[in-house]
Amino acid sequence: MISLTKPEQAGELAAALARGAGRAWALPSHSKSKMLERIARGIESDSEGFARLIVEEVAKPLKEARREVSRAAFTFDWASEEAKRFGGELLPLDLDLNTEGRFALTRRFPRGPALFITPFNFPLNLVAHKVAAAIAVGVPWALKPAPQAPRTAERLGELILEAGWPKECMAVVSCSNELAEGLVRDPNFGVLSFTGSDKVGWHLKSVAGKKHAILELGGNAAAYVAPDADLAWAAARIAWGAFYYSGQVCISVQRVLVHAKVYEPFKEMLLKNISELVIGEPGDERTDIGPLISEESAKRVEAWIQEAVSAGGRLLAGGRRQGRLIFPTLVENVPSHAKLSCQEAFGPVATIEPVDSRERALERIGEGGFGLQAGLFTNDLKGVFDAWNRVPVGGLILNDIPAFRSDAMPYGGVRDSGTGREGVRYAMEELTERRTLVLRP
């Protein structure tokens, strides 16, 4: 890991990566594919070590840490496949008399070195989504990992070097926020890819100059349960989706909207599922709910719960804090102006309320500025397509929670939740730009 302590070091690093761009781009597809496959095998061979390191650094429950490690290996495997098939197009241009005999070739070229800034909550797989895509398209990169999880990123960096990626085409960086902003401003970087809070992300975009910006930001995701839904399935999934890793996930279920016809039986099922969640130490294989990343975060979430109750919300479960631990909390009928309704809680707390129609549910999902993902539990396919047309979110998940994500699918938000898309192939497109060659034989 490179430690930056002076502003001039940031500029030197960016310039060095720019000099290495030609070597990264010149790597053949088969070579990049094999490197990515070797990285995936390296992660798998040390899967338990990675999982235990994630537990140690960010207090993620062990079973969730293991799942993250497995996903990261898949991400590199998928990038290995995409590296072999990422191509362009042949376009006929003989569409009128003026363009007879011509055709066009398109190909994607790197925008330039990429700067990656990642959060603590998925210290391996969110890094993998950025780095794997960069390797697949031959883009040099600098990674500034979350300060809470430097060793996870450093260990992954070692695997990447062992797999054969050129040392001069990568850097894992430790630095202050001030110096990180200096990297963002540096014109040698062609891309900024940031995952984190909306406030920080939009600020960085404002100082990034002409860089292409990919922002994966926050949300306050909603799930709607319709009268025809499988209530038991919906309750089980929402209980998990609202509270896994103590809600420290940007697509965690924060708002639960339930049709009035099934509200009471669904609420009873959901509370039962919540009561069965295991609270304990992150290193215990049985633990579902552990401590938050810091006591400061726990105190903030506690204050938001108290505000929601004071504003008229009814506490149905949890609400207690013990150091960094917030017990799984469900609050009923929280006013729309309370922080739990309109901001990102990033903690083990969800709201629940009845709605009298699908139309009202869609209105509630779309309220506020966020637009990352939402979940619909229903078998009304016509209603699903209507929701897809109307709800301003980057991803709409049918009969599952908004916390669902396949590492192969396009992922990202709209409005305050960001711009651009990840998911390996889609990140590869974001890191590159299309160029056209017109031929007249």
Which alpha helices (DSSP H) does 20-89 contain, by range?
A: 21-26, 29-45, 47-58, 62-85
Which structure tokens are listed for 285?
A: 């294989």
Choosing from 57, 68, 216, 353, which is the catalytic residue?
216
Choosing from 64, 169, 250, 344, which is the catalytic residue?
250
From 242, 216, 255, 221, select the one nearest 417 (Cα to Cα).
216
Q: What is the DSSP letter of 289?
A: B
Distances from the Cα of 387 to the Cαs of 24, 249, 430, in angstroms? 43, 24, 27
Cβ distance 124 to 54 under 8 Å? yes
What distance in Å separates the CA atoms of residue 338 and residue 353, rounded to the nearest whole number?
Answer: 14
What distance in Å separates the CA atoms of residue 173 and residue 3, rounded to the nearest whole number?
Answer: 6
Is 359 part of the annotated catalytic residue set? no
Give me the residues paired with residue 437 across strands: 105
Is 216 part of the annotated catalytic residue set? yes
Crossing angle for the helix pair 47-58 and 62-85, to the nearest 10 degrees: 120
Q: What is the DSSP letter of 158?
A: H
Site of tokens 């042949």: 90
From 31, 180, 21, select the one nearest 114 (Cα to Cα).
21
Q: Mind telling me the catalytic residues?
A: 216, 250
